[in-house]
């Protein structure tokens, strides 16, 4: 019985390997969730001093085993409280906020290794670190502070793992630069009357999340390997 089970598992494994070698896919769709943070007028150092929730939907075009273009819709919550800081605000002002962020964007992703299962002549790996850089648009809705829209620049680092030929898991940390200073509310804009620069005044949003994605859309692959 043990021998029969061993043979069955061996045949099944071989079938999965052949299937993985024969098929590649052009797209994947995914979803993720995790913890969001914020840097700005109310928090200058600790990204996750008052963490919020972040959820994400994504669509990825797989250019090859190293490069991909990814579209994302992200919804997150950021929070802050001046009682958490040692800074003295003008007129001894105290301020706290909760803001909802909605971001729609696209970015390029680069895998450090050839990512995939099968096709050993390509030296693929089931896991790979990756970097991503993109551009998007963010709408912020601070409680009681109206609605604010701005451009966003996400910069991410992560690690992805192929659980099965079409199923992927990833862990990612992303910092997003918001080209504006109202994500934490209109009341905190330009507190010290200092002209905004790339690093001063404007807000940052951070996300730490786990995601899962599923590949589809068979790619026509021709093997040019010569033994």
pLDDT for res 40: 78
pLDDT for res 191: 57
Question: Which stretches does DSSP call E strand in the chain?
Answer: 24-39, 52-62, 67-81, 96-111, 127-142, 148-164, 167-178, 204-219
Other Cβ atoms closer than 10 A to 176:
24
Name the β-bridge partners of 23.
none
pLDDT for res 45: 75
Phi-psi category of residue 118: left, alpha or beta, with phi > 0 → left and psi -120 to 50 → alpha: left
Can you list the domains of the chain with their CATH numbers?
Answer: 2-219 (2.40.160.20)
* Regions in the chain scoring below 50 on pLDDT: 2, 4-5, 7-9, 11-22, 226-227
Distance CA 191, CA 55 (A): 31
pLDDT for res 8: 41
pLDDT for res 91: 65
């Amino acid at each position: 019985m043990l021998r029969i089970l061993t043979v069955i598992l061996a045949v099944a494994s071989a079938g999965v390997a052949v299937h993985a070698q024969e098929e590649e896919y052009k797209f994947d769709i995914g979803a993720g969730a995790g913890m969001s943070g914020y840097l700005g007028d109310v928090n200058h150092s600790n990204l996750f001093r008052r963490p919020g929730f972040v959820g994400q939907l994504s669509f990825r075009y797989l250019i090859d085993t190293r490069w991909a273009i990814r579209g994302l819709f992200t919804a997150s919550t950021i929070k802050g409280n001046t009682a958490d800081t040692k800074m003295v605000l003008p007129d001894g002002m105290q301020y706290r906020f909760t803001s909802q962020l909605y971001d729609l964007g696209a970015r390029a992703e680069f895998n450090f290794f050839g990512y995939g299962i099968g096709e050993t002549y390509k030296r693929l790996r089931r896991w790979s670190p990756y970097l991503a850089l993109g551009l998007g648009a963010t709408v912020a809705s601070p409680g009681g502070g109206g609605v604010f829209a701005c451009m966003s620049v996400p910069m991410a680092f992560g690690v992805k793992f192929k659980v099965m030929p079409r199923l992927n898991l990833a862990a990612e940390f992303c910092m997003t630069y918001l080209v504006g200073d109202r994500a934490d509310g209109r009341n905190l804009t330009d507190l010290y009357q200092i002209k905004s620069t790339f690093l001063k005044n404007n807000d940052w949003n951070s996300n730490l999340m786990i995601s899962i994605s599923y590949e589809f859309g068979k790619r026509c692959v021709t093997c040019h390997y010569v033994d």
